Amino acid sequence: MSLVLHENLSLKPYNTFGVDVKARLFAAAHDDAEVREGITLAAERGLPLLVIGGGSNLLLTGDVNALVLRMASRGIRVLADDGVKVLLEAEAGEPWHPLVIWTLEQGLGGLENLSLIPGTVGAAPMQNIGAYGVELKDVFAGLTALDRETGELREFSLEDCQFAYRDSLFKREAGRWLILRVRFNLSRQPDLRLDYGPVRQHLQEEGITAPTAKDVSRAICAIRREKLPDPMELGNAGSFFKNPLVSAEQAQRLRSEHEDLVAYPQADGQVKLAAGWLIDRAGWKGFRDGDAGVHRLQALVLVNYGSATGSQLHDLAQRIRADIATRFGVELEMEPNLI
């Protein structure tokens, strides 16, 4: 056996909330063979298997009676390059933001709006990560996943993944598919997405009139650093709640009561509301109960000021959800996976 097993290991370094719970067993898988070893070992020990990446989308509410398998595979490969379009493949364990920076250094555009998102490549399709007008599905070319039920490898196309807003087949069939590699369609002549006002404003303030993909990435990194705490300094999982989708009629009712409602009409007729605006308007920004709190600059971010437990953070989230439902008639949905 090549897997190195650890018993009763603290998961504090492996979740960005910094919640201190223990894993019954823990191992890091560096290749496909070790992934299969982990699956077999969990079955032999009669334990569930919990697969994690960077731990940036987890809320751990207690010790984990499972084999926790961290995806640690690394590798970035160019599969095709016609001088303009480039097909890139990255292993699931590659950290996301360093991959974005690597592509930009190679003169490749497409991932710049997704800069500074925490986590790993393998976790990105689970949530169909998105930011500043771009989602993973917009640059997605395919992925390779292991079917934990049959042990077979399967190749997934864009259509196969059933991507939706912060959602995918892999999230809906949690526990079945283990993503090993992801492929991206990138370009040496990127079509820059500058739809979001703060991005355009930052570029204008910098005097950049003809931005490059690198310029967009730097602008987005600056904006995110101004609003979002660094998990290395203050435990958090980024945006804690999804931006809720409501009917046009409900959005209109809310706007009649709140003229400054932040809302974005969608192609299907629904309206996406800014969860951060709702939470801020309800007075939760900067709230703190012990070491569990809401960030003082971004109401969408729950934070661990030091020794908050996962249960305390979850309780705070539930209080916020109940308040938003009462005040606005809107149901908020958590982004992190509750374990």
Return the CATH number at 67.
Answer: 3.30.43.10
Same domain, 131 and 216: no
In this structure, is residue 230 part of a structural domain? no
Domain count, the chain: 4
Q: What pLDDT is attached to residue 62?
A: 96
192 found inside a domain: no
For the beta sheet containing 49-52, the strands, ordered from the edge strand earlier in sequence to the opposite edge, are 6-10, 22-29, 64-71, 49-52
CATH number of the domain bearing residue 288: 3.90.78.10
Neighbours of 235 (CB within 10 A): 23
- Domain membership of residue 214 as a residue range: 197-225
d(CA 60, CA 5): 20
Give the pLDDT mean for 113-123.
Answer: 95
* Mean pLDDT score of the chain: 95
Q: What is the pTM of this model?
A: 0.90
Instruction: Verify that 248 and 151 share a domain, yes or no.
Output: no
Answer with the one of 71, 89, 121 that is the final residue of a domain: 71
As annotated, the active-site residues are 166, 239, 335
Task: Judge if 67 and 154 occupy the same domain.
Answer: no
Do 100 and 153 have their domain in common?
A: yes
Q: Are residues 133 and 210 in the same domain?
A: no
pLDDT value of position 329 = 96
Same domain, residue pair 64 and 81 = no
- Cα–Cα distance for residue pair 51/55, rounded to 1 Å: 10
pLDDT class of 284 with cuts at 50, 70, 90: very high
In a domain, 113, yes or no: yes
Residue 96 included in any domain: yes
Give helix 213-227 / helix 197-205 axis angle, nearest 10°. 110
> Which pLDDT value is given to residue 113?
96
Is 17 within a domain? yes
Residues in contact with 237: Cβ distance below 8 Å, sequence separation at least 6, in sequence order: 16, 17, 56, 57, 58, 59, 118, 231, 302, 335, 336
- Would you say residue 314 lies in a domain? yes
Shared-domain flag, residues 154 and 203: no
333 and 239 in a single domain? The answer is yes
144 and 59 assigned to the same domain: no
- Residue 48: inside a domain, yes or no? yes
Average pLDDT of the segment spanning 74-84: 97
The predicted pLDDT at position 254 comes to 95
pLDDT in tens, 177-236: 999 999 999 999 988 988 878 888 888 888 888 899 999 999 999 999 888 888 889 999
pLDDT at 1 over 70: no
Residue 252 — pLDDT band, cuts 50, 70, 90?
Answer: very high
Locate 196 and state its tokens. 């979001």
Considering 56, 71, 86, which residue would you say is the last residue of a domain?
71
92 and 177 assigned to the same domain: yes
Same domain flag for 203 and 165: no
Are residues 87 and 178 both part of a single domain?
Answer: yes
pLDDT computed for residue 291 by the predictor: 98
